[in-house]
Structure 1
Amino acid sequence: MDLKFFRSDRNLSLLEENDTQHRFLQPVWDLRLGFEDWMTSPLFPVFLSVGFYFLCNIPYTIVDLYFQDFEIVKRFKIQPEKRVTWPMMRKAILKTLYNNLVFIMPTMIAQWIWVPPTPFPRLAPKFYDFAYQSVAMMMIFDFQYWFWHMVHHRNRWLYKNFHAIHHQYHATFGWTTQYLHPWELVTVGFFTTIDGWFFECHPMTYWCFMLLNVGMSVEAHSGYDLPIFPHKWLPIYGGGPKHDMHHMKPLTNYQPFFSTWDRLFGWDCPGISGGGVKGKRLLAWEERRRGQRINKHATELMGGTENGELVPDKEKKRN
């Protein structure tokens, strides 16, 4: 075999070399070169996800701690009367670190020990595959979590034992995104993983899907309604206003990102706009439901917090 037909640095044939030239994402994928040993580790996705989660929250943290009383900030805050404090943030951050260290890292370490690393493909994904698989996985994950979320709200036992911790705040802020029961965190991780397996997608596609998932989740919990957010130009996207409303009216808006399934089943509720403004659609929604009978479970869901903190059952009985 004539070795001059191969690139010595990447062991690519001429056919692969020509294919590389037509791959739009190849320059990005080539950035991995020299880091493969670390990036093929099962620990890499965990560090990537958690690191990106903290990175996404930094801007909101700075604004919430130092600028939340500025009028320009209140103009875009969904519930401007609700203050975010450092103790609230610290509690959520510690919960995130605890869940990942105790429940996620051991699984990844075990996989690192017993499962051999999978070599990376030499070529980047084709842009078409990258785009359609990313969108498809987001839509599938949105349905998976919508169903899980809905079931854990409609069933009192599941809600009380697993999902109630996430609803300790009526007004969300970025760090509440992963303020979760371990069962919910593991479930979200499971959905994210099997979606990538189903499509047998390229590692680059899977990582971008994972990061997009994290970024969209933080945006939905940010508590802000900014002009650049997707719900401003994509009608089926819920975003921060819809999810913030879910924390105020927990039997509405179950979808994490979009609003198609909620609309289909009648669980869609318009959100409050920046500055705490109720739009015509929300006022009409409230008028249609005024006087409707609310069951005991719904009352418990909507009345279980005071000033952003969960009220224990014993204390509620005492009151």
Structure 2
Amino acid sequence: MSGRNSSELQVLCSSGQLLLQPLWDRLRTWEALVQSPFFPVIFAIITYLGICLPFVVLDFLYPWVPALRRYKIHPDFSPSARELLTCLGQTLYQHLVFVFPVTLLHWLCSPALLPPEAPEMLQLLRDVLLCLLLFDAEFFVWHVLHHKVPWLYRTFHKVHHQNSSLFALATQHMSLWELFSLGFFDMVNVTLLRCHPLTVLTFHVVNIWLSVEDHSGYDFPWSTHRLVPFGWYGGVAHHDLHHSQFNCNFAPYFTHWDKILGTLRPAPPPAWCCSCGGCPSNSGVLCDSHLNQKKHS
């Protein structure tokens, strides 16, 4: 029986690898670019701006599309062109002037080697999840320290809290120390887990997407935290509470560390989730239907 289970697992893993192999073979046709020191910075900037773009478009449409108000955490706030350009300029400046030289140094010390085989699908999914969990724990500790130690907050983390109302391009509005800290956590995790290069790229895309979504200022019915069961994932309203109240919800993604240390503060439900629209976003006031649900839960 165990031999049969083992053979079935091998077939499943092989099929998972075959599923990713065409994609990996296509990426390897651009091997010269992927192995160059320019690729990590180009990939990071294009991925970040590409994920921010839909939310930036929504911010431009917001004044003329009243229907968007029900999905906005702060309905009366829309970032100005100056705020958007300031955050965009800082991101490009830091990546080109500081991140690229560090990437070049890392490339000189250990040039990237691309294996011929793609990773197995289950292995890729497992490693991406482990990287997210490790990053979540590391940044939680870093984040708590930079809020509890006044000098660390004033010197390094205060920059990120200059925008109390969130928008997508504010995601990487941070000090250089914070940017390098997050990059260091990413690099250490994929190295410790010996992740396949395709897994590394996938993790970076997922990590950037989750970060931007958490800072977007929009809470949609299809937002990631609504797709993850049991309240395990915080989401945009969860992170918005951290920016407005400072002393709660320190973990970037998951909720278990805040639950363990008593710093979790649940966000109120958005107005669109009930027919009356009577739960003002971030007010902490529930409409009658939600009060009745809470009584009977």
Fold-level similarity (TM above 0.5): yes
Q: Secondary structure at the match of 1:23?
A: helix
Alignment partner of 1:220 is 2:214: yes
Deviation at 1:177, TM superposition (A): 0.4
Distance change >3 Å, CA 148–CA 161, structure 1 → 2? same
Q: Find the counterpart in structure 1 of residue 109 from structure 2.
A: 115
Contact 2:132 2:207 in 1 (8 A): yes
Amino acid at match of 2:159: I
Distance change >3 Å, CA 137–CA 281, structure 1 → 2? farther
| Residue from 34, 38, 63 that aligns with 1:39 | 34
| Residue from 273, 276, 279 that aligns with 1:277 | 279
Contact 1:226 1:274 in 2 (8 A): no
Alignment partner of 1:147 is 2:149: no
More helix by share: 2
Deviation at 1:115, TM superposition (A): 3.0
Contact 2:20 2:118 in 1 (8 A): yes
Larger displacement relative to structure 2 (21-30 or 240-249):
21-30
Deviation at 1:282, TM superposition (A): 4.5
Amino acid at match of 1:28: L
Structure 1 residues 115-152: Cα deviation after superposition (integer angstroms, max 9, x where no partner): 35232110000112111111011001011011101110
| Alpha-carbon distance in structure 2 between the residues aligned to 1:30 and 1:205 | 14
| Alpha-carbon distance in structure 1 between the residues aligned to 2:53 and 2:16 | 37
Q: Find the counterpart in structure 2 of residue 237 from structure 1.
A: 233
Contact 2:267 2:282 in 1 (8 A): no
Instruction: Quote the RMSD (CA, aligned, Å).
Output: 2.1
| Alpha-carbon distance in structure 1 between the residues aligned to 2:97 and 2:282 | 46
| Residue from 205, 208, 217 that aligns with 1:211 | 205
Deviation at 1:24, TM superposition (A): 2.0
Alignment partner of 1:23 is 2:18: yes
| Alpha-carbon distance in structure 2 between the residues aligned to 1:261 and 1:116 | 35
State the structure with more CA Rg.
Answer: 1
Q: Secondary structure at the match of 2:190?
A: helix
Contact 1:74 1:274 in 2 (8 A): no
Distance change >3 Å, CA 280–CA 271, structure 1 → 2? closer
Distance change >3 Å, CA 279–CA 51, structure 1 → 2? closer
Distance change >3 Å, CA 69–CA 254, structure 1 → 2? farther
Contact 2:234 2:253 in 1 (8 A): yes
Structure 1 residues 93-135: Cα deviation after superposition (integer angstroms, max 9, x where no partner): 11111111222011122334x3352321100001121111110
Amino acid at match of 1:241: A
Percent identity among equivalent residues? 32
Q: Find the counterpart in structure 2 of residue 64 from structure 1.
A: 59
Contact 2:56 2:168 in 1 (8 A): yes
Distance change >3 Å, CA 145–CA 22, structure 1 → 2? closer
| Residue from 246, 254, 276 that aligns with 2:250 | 254
Deviation at 1:49, TM superposition (A): 1.4
Deviation at 1:159, TM superposition (A): 0.3
Amino acid at match of 2:75: P
Structure 1 residues 255-304: Cα deviation after superposition (integer angstroms, max 9, x where no partner): 111111111111111224445935899459xxxxxxxxxxxxxxxxxxxx
- The two structures have a TM-score, normalised by structure 2, of 0.84
| Alpha-carbon distance in structure 2 between the residues aligned to 1:68 and 1:223 | 15
| Alpha-carbon distance in structure 2 between the residues aligned to 1:273 and 1:50 | 33
| Alpha-carbon distance in structure 2 between the residues aligned to 1:56 and 1:107 | 24
Contact 1:134 1:209 in 2 (8 A): yes
Q: Find the counterpart in structure 2 of residue 311 from structure 1.
A: none
> Is there any run of 5+ residues in structure 1 with no aligned partner, and where?
1-18, 285-319
Deviation at 1:39, TM superposition (A): 0.3
| Alpha-carbon distance in structure 1 between the residues aligned to 2:283 and 2:66 | 25
| Alpha-carbon distance in structure 1 between the residues aligned to 2:280 and 2:169 | 25
Q: Residues 67-78 of structure 1: matches in 2 within 5 Å?
A: 67-78=62-73
Structure 1 residues 19-54: Cα deviation after superposition (integer angstroms, max 9, x where no partner): 689522111111113210110123312211111100
| Alpha-carbon distance in structure 2 between the residues aligned to 1:194 and 1:125 | 20
Structure 1 residues 208-242: Cα deviation after superposition (integer angstroms, max 9, x where no partner): 00110000000000001001112113211111001
Contact 2:73 2:282 in 1 (8 A): no
Contact 1:29 1:204 in 2 (8 A): yes
